[in-house]
């Protein structure tokens, strides 16, 4: 017998406002062609003025709890992976908790930028395996539109707003890769790459306002290498091979990166969940949003083996292997 973190529900939320590539051509010197060819992005969602990260996260949390058939009162822990919190403090997770109308359990944020959801899953899994929590909500929620420099064409076309969430429940398994739940997580960081992707200010002790700055090529180069390493680590830890994977649910930053990961795993693109075309890069929200979409439309079925991978500012990166 071994404790496993089963994923028993998932859900997503996207703001209503759709901004197409053509729309952006009125703001910066860009084109629909350039954005589609270099990134695969066609459109993104942008939060309304009164929609903060906690609001998006709360909607996703409600959807995930509904899907799990679980009440918010049953949660022992609420984690919110975000780099765009409502406030410096308190944690956005506590605002989501209040929105759910509960006052029990623990709630805190996880900050690992685009790898935030994989980091959040890792924390949740560790709490479950340590016997510290039975039911955990992991939310990835972002409003990157608020930290973009809308005059910088090299970054403002790449991101969107949204939220996704999963509900995790402690269950007993047999300790093998046939168990349902999180089979393993691997997370990494190398803080020497700060300057490749960061926000030049924002809530914190150093500055007051800030915008996202990125050396895109540098991030791209590291992303393909690091995520491949994290995928290999996940397979090796479980005695599995690429042929065992049913679905790749990657962080959605750039279709070219996603395709190169799929090629490396020898997975046809119809086994890869892609949302970057419609959501753009929603940072910590991209994976739970993609997961929710593929579960809701029936692509992902019980028993399927799902490879999750992400890479983001820090650098941070990681993978998770989940038996659905
Ligand atoms: O989620 C966190 C992880 N983030 C990522 O994984 C992002 C990784 N990086 C990327 O996805 C790609 O590097 C980008 C999509 C950001 C850029 O694609 P690229 O193929 O690396 O293009 P580039 O930065 O080398 O730019 C090529 C050209 C440049 O012009 P010159 O110098 O060749 O004349 C840019 O100025 O494209 C120009 N450019 C644009 N042109 C039209 C940059 N942005 C735009 C734009 N529209 N929006």
Please report the pLDDT score of residue 112 as a whole number.
98
Please report the pLDDT score of residue 206 as a whole number.
59
What is the whole-number distance in angstroms between the Cα of residue 154 and the centre of ligand 1?
6
- For the annotated catalytic residues, the residue numbers are 114, 251, 281
Please report the pLDDT score of residue 205 as a whole number.
61
State if residue 157 touches ligand 1 by the CB under 6 angstroms criterion: yes
What is the whole-number distance in angstroms between the Cα of residue 212 and the centre of ligand 1?
14
SS3 308: strand
Contacts of 156 (CB under 8 A, 6+ apart): 24, 27, 28, 148, 149, 150
Domain ranges of the chain: 2-173, 181-323
State if residue 227 touches ligand 1 by the CB under 6 angstroms criterion: no
State the Cα–Cα distance between residues 281 and 313, nearest whole angstrom.
13
Architecture of domain 181-323: 3-Layer(aba) Sandwich (3.40)
Q: Computed over its alpha carbons, how large is the radius of gyration of the chain?
A: 18
Probe target for ligand 1 pocket from 23, 111, 216, with the most ligand atoms within 8 Å of CB: 216
State the Cα–Cα distance between residues 119 and 312, nearest whole angstrom.
11
Residue 204 — very low, low, confident or very high, per pLDDT cuts 50/70/90? low
Give the global pTM.
0.97
Answer whether 115's CB lies under 8 Å from 316's CB.
yes
Answer whether 83's CB lies under 8 Å from 146's CB.
no
State if residue 30 touches ligand 1 by the CB under 6 angstroms criterion: yes
Answer whether 126's CB lies under 8 Å from 320's CB.
no
- CA atoms within 13 Å, Cβ hemisphere of 315: 22
State if residue 306 touches ligand 1 by the CB under 6 angstroms criterion: no
SS3 210: coil
What's the maximum distance between 2 C-alpha atoms anywhere in the chain?
A: 59
Please report the pLDDT score of residue 269 as a whole number.
98
Torsion over CA: 120, 111, 232, 159 (sign) = positive
Is the pLDDT at 194 greater than 80, yes or no?
A: yes
Tens digit of pLDDT for each residue in 224-282?
999 999 999 999 999 999 999 999 999 999 999 999 999 999 999 999 999 999 999 99
Average pLDDT over residues 32-43: 98
Q: In CATH, what number does 2-173 get?
A: 3.40.47.10
**181-323 has the same fold as 2-173:** yes
DSSP notation for 3-50: EEEEEEEEEEE--SEEEEHHHHTTTSS--HHHHHHHH---EEEE--TT
Q: Is-cis flag, bond preceding 90, omega within 30?
A: yes
Q: Where would I find the H helices in the chain?
A: 21-24, 32-39, 53-68, 92-99, 116-129, 153-156, 216-237, 255-265, 276-279, 286-296
State if residue 260 touches ligand 1 by the CB under 6 angstroms criterion: no
Answer whether 267's CB lies under 8 Å from 241's CB.
no
């Amino acid at each position: 017998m071994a404790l496993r973190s089963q994923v028993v529900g998932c859900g997503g939320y996207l703001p209503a406002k759709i901004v197409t590539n053509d729309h952006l051509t009125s703001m910066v010197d860009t084109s629909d062609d350039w954005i589609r060819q270099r990134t695969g992005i066609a459109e993104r969602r942008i939060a309304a003025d009164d929609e903060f990260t906690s609001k998006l996260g709360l909607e996703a949390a409600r959807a995930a709890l509904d899907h799990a058939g679980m009440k918010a009162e049953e949660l022992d822990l609420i984690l919110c992976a975000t780099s765009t919190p409502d406030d410096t403090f308190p944690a956005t997770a506590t605002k989501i908790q209040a929105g759910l109308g509960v006052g029990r359990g623990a709630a805190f944020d996880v900050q690992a930028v685009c790898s935030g959801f994989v980091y959040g899953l890792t924390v949740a899994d560790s709490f479950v395996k340590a016997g510290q929590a039975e039911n955990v909500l992991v939310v990835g929620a972002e409003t990157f539109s608020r930290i973009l420099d809308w005059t910088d064409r090299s970054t403002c076309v790449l991101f969107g707003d949204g939220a996704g969430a999963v509900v995790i429940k402690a269950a007993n398994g047999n300790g093998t890769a046939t168990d349902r739940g999180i089979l393993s997580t691997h997370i990494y960081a190398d803080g020497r790459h700060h300057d490749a992707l960061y926000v030049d200010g924002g809530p914190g002790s150093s500055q007051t306002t800030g915008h996202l700055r990125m050396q895109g090529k540098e991030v791209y180069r590291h992303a393909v290498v690091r995520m491949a390493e994290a995928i290999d680590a996940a397979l090796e830890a479980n005695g599995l091979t690429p042929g065992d994977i049913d679905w790749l649910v990657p962080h959605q930053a750039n279709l070219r990166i996603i395709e190169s990961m799929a090629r490396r795993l020898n997975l046809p693109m119809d086994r890869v969940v892609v949302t970057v075309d419609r959501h753009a890069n929603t940072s910590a929200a991209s994976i739970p949003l993609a997961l929710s979409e593929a579960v809701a439309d029936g692509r992902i079925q019980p028993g399927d083996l799902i490879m999750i991978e992400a890479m983001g500012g820090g650098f941070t990166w990681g993978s998770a292997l989940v038996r659905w």
